[in-house]
Amino acid sequence: MLINRLTSKEATVVMSVIWFLGALVAWIPLISVGYFVDFYGSNGVCFPLHIHDPWLPGWEYSAFVFLGLNASCFTAIAVSYTGNITVKSKSKVEIVRAFGTI
């Protein structure tokens, strides 16, 4: 499978969208909606992982971010690295075939 490289402008757009989405996920709880009451201030470290009282308002959002979003990002990174390693090992085999040994 051949994937074309991104141009500098395309990479800038992709990274800008990723940063925007990350900031949006962090800023959504700051909107004054009743669902996110004291979302970041529920513990002493301003971390919205509700361990002491897991059913505080906003726990579904925390679960989505910490479980769903992080799991999907981990999967994307793992697939990317696996593809990278596969391509590198195939190219090494081709080099060895072409030149004998390294």
Domain count, the chain: 1
Question: Taking a C-beta distance cutoff of 8 angstroms, is the pair 78, 86 a contact?
Answer: no
pTM summary value: 0.63
| Rg, Å, the chain Cα set | 21
Residue found by looking up tokens 């074309």 in the block: 4
In a domain, 72, yes or no: yes
- What is the rounded CA–CA span in Å between residue 88 and residue 79? 14
CB 42: neighbour CB atoms within 10 A? Answer: 20
In a domain, 3, yes or no: no
Question: Taking a C-beta distance cutoff of 8 angstroms, is the pair 69, 25 a contact?
Answer: yes
Residue 102 pLDDT more than 60? no
* Tens digit of each residue's pLDDT (9 = 90 or more) over 2-16: 567 889 999 999 999
Query: Domain range holding 62?
Result: 8-99
In a domain, 1, yes or no: no
In a domain, 52, yes or no: yes
In a domain, 70, yes or no: yes
In a domain, 2, yes or no: no
